[in-house]
Chain A
Amino acid sequence: MGPVPASVEVGGLQEKAVTVSSPVPDHLWSYFERSWRRDPAAVALHVDGRSWTYDELAVRALAVSRAVWAQGGPGPFVGLHAQRSIGAYAGLLGILHAGRAYVPLNPQLPMDRRATIAVLADLDLVVTDKAHEHEARALAARTGKTCAVALAGESAGPFTDHAAGDAAYMLFTSGSTGVPKGVPIRHANVVAYVEHLLERFAPGPDDRFSQTFELTFDLSVHDLFLCWAAGAALYVLPQDQLMAPARFIRDHGITQWFSVPSAAVLMDRMRLLKPGAFPSLRVSAFCGEPLPADLAVKWAAAAPNGRVENLYGPTEATIAITGHVLDAAAPKARLGILSIGRPFPTARIRVVAADGSDADEGELWLGGPQLGLGYWKDDVRTAVAFVTHGTERFYRTGDLVQRDGDGDLFFISRMDDQVKVRGHRIELQEVNQVLKEVSGASFAYALAHPVRDGIAQGIEAFLPMTVRNNGGSILEACAARLPDYMVPSRLHFTDDIPYTSSGKADLRALRARLDGPASPTDR
């Protein structure tokens, strides 16, 4: 088919016509469509114990697209309330085909959190899978305005040309004021990423991609669109096998693995990383948190026919933007943590010292075509994080890094209160805010603890003695508002909080208490 003139009014976001026949797509649907036309009978997706061909997935996506046109309002964003089902993937593709951007609403998040996100994103339509239809209707009612619900994956639709919207998705990350912040990412951002990865990982139609990440995590976009751009098959890990996916990798002959390092940590503890255990793997990529070098070496021995890559990048700069190939014989590491490597060819970086000058140790700034526009409806935070240097726009990551003589980067630490637990970004201020609200306590100090091999295992928090008898109900109230990875695993009650000279709670001293002998006020 020839160029598609897509003149669709998509409120607020700029749009343009799409040329499907162009060598580099400018819309994610085009990656899928290209593979679909090449081999419609190839397997596109394996989920819930059955396979779906490109044809089968396409017609279900098209049905969703039609429903979005029929039921959706003028807004650029459509909610995707589905998880690990045919409806989730048909829904995501259908929303994109309709020229809208998807906002994933993980049905496992507390209803409060999902409703907050739905309102912040001005959703007027939520696409759901069959299993979560009832909850989706409850969610739509909670938004307090007209919000339609469409069911994905159940019916087929006819082919129509797709519409071009500028944004592809919007993800919400933890915000330091207690309100999650939306990060809209455009098709052009993702295309810049996918084009590089098509070269870097060289996937083909015979590849079988893992899909471990929740759709609320942008690393899932790598799984879906690198896979479908290559005409390969996407293998979705069932929820209950995420903890120990060794058997899944073997049973399905997975060739392209992508997960947080935590998944490898757990498999290692289960003694599942035996030499030669995963002969099918061609590429094993890790992202989302520090990758311990010894763990990467163990994984490389378990996957002797492939290579191990450590990727790095924030949501604001689309999926990942630097990468490092492990040399198992001589891993390049700093304090046991593998290098995050060098920027992708199209990326621009700066390492900026405290005085604003370029240096070999300092804050990492990111620029180039993967850079997002900023935060949804938040000019203040956008202006702080997205800055102009010379004529170029950069995103200030808040990550402190070191660069060696070869140009390889090493993550040192965060420069603020953001931590990562199992790859999830958490603003400790947000946890503190919720803890204070639900307990009525005068203070709350959360920190990431314990940290093993550079990987935080969870959150613990200090609260005053006045609320010491309410520990159970405080945690319950947190669980009703926060994703599980943000809920403290342990509360400590004390009125003796050490402060630094600047009057802030001394988190280092608090951490030292947790690492010392157990205190009698723990519960």
Chain B
Amino acid sequence: MSLNEVTLRDRVRSALAPRLAEMGLTQADVGDGMSLTQSGVLDSFALMELIGGLEQGLGVEIDFEAIEPERLTTIKGLADAFAKALAA
């Protein structure tokens, strides 16, 4: 795992933090591979908000054509997608 990926996971985690606080969850409750949508942490609109915020913050755009959308529902998947976008 590159340093970049670790940093990106932290970026995703900090973007998620307000939502977790709202639900009374801690960072430890949410694993990197857990589906954020199926677990009810985010619905698809909230997930798109999160991705939009990260796109703005990182100054890149995800290529949704090239990625299976279900892979964007975990912290790991999001970090991977942004790593790919930053490398492109």
Contact = CB atoms under 8 A, between A and B. Distances in A.
A210 B77 CA distance: 27
Interface string A163-202: 0000000000000000000000000000000000000000
Nearest to B20: A472
Contacts of A476: 24
Given A243-B70, A270-B69, A457 B22 contact: no
A485 B43 CA distance: 9
The 5 closest A-B CB pairs, nearest first, are A472-B24, A244-B69, A240-B70, A270-B64, A243-B44
B65 A246 contact: yes
Range for the number of chain A residues in contact with chain B: 20 to 34
Contacts of B23: 471-472, 475
A476 B22 CA distance: 11
Contacts of B43: 458, 484-485, 489
A271 B64 contact: yes
Given A269-B48, A472-B24, A243 B69 contact: yes
A241 B70 contact: yes
A355 B25 CA distance: 52
Nearest to B48: A269
A460 to B, nearest CB: 11
A471 B24 contact: yes
Given A243-B69, A244-B69, A523 B21 contact: yes
Contact of A243 (B24, B25, B37, B40): B37
Interface string A241-263: 11110110000000000000010
Interface residues of B, number: 22
15 contacts: A240-B69, A241-B69, A241-B70, A243-B70, A266-B48, A269-B52, A270-B48, A272-B65, A457-B45, A458-B46, A471-B22, A472-B23, A472-B25, A485-B43, A523-B21
B22 A266 contact: no
A485 B44 CA distance: 11
Interface string A217-246: 000000000000000000000001111101
A479 B43 CA distance: 13
Contacts of B22: 471, 475, 489-491, 523
A136 to B, nearest CB: 20
Contacts of A240: 69-70, 73
Nearest to B71: A240
Nearest to A277: B65
A193 B22 CA distance: 44
A519 interface: no
Interface string B3-31: 00000000000000000011111000000
B22 to A, nearest CB: 6
Interface string B47-88: 110001000000001101100111001000000000000000
A134 B70 CA distance: 26
Nearest to A479: B40
Given A240-B70, A458-B45, A491-B22, 16 more contacts: A240-B69, A241-B70, A242-B44, A243-B44, A244-B69, A262-B45, A266-B45, A269-B48, A269-B52, A270-B48, A475-B24, A479-B40, A487-B40, A489-B22, A489-B46, A523-B21
A272 B25 contact: no
Interface in A472-490: 472-473, 475-476, 479, 484-485, 487, 489-490
Contacts of A246: 64-65
A111 to B, nearest CB: 15
Nearest to B69: A244
A484 B10 CA distance: 28
Nearest to B42: A489
Contacts of B73: 240
A523 B37 CA distance: 20
Contacts of A491: 22
A269 B56 CA distance: 13
A458 B19 CA distance: 14
Nearest to B19: A489
A117 B37 CA distance: 25
A426 to B, nearest CB: 14
A484 B43 CA distance: 9
Nearest to A248: B69
A476 B70 CA distance: 24
B85 to A, nearest CB: 13
Contacts of B61: 271
Contacts of A272: 64-65
A458 to B, nearest CB: 7
B24 A266 contact: no
Interface string A269-292: 111100000000000000000000
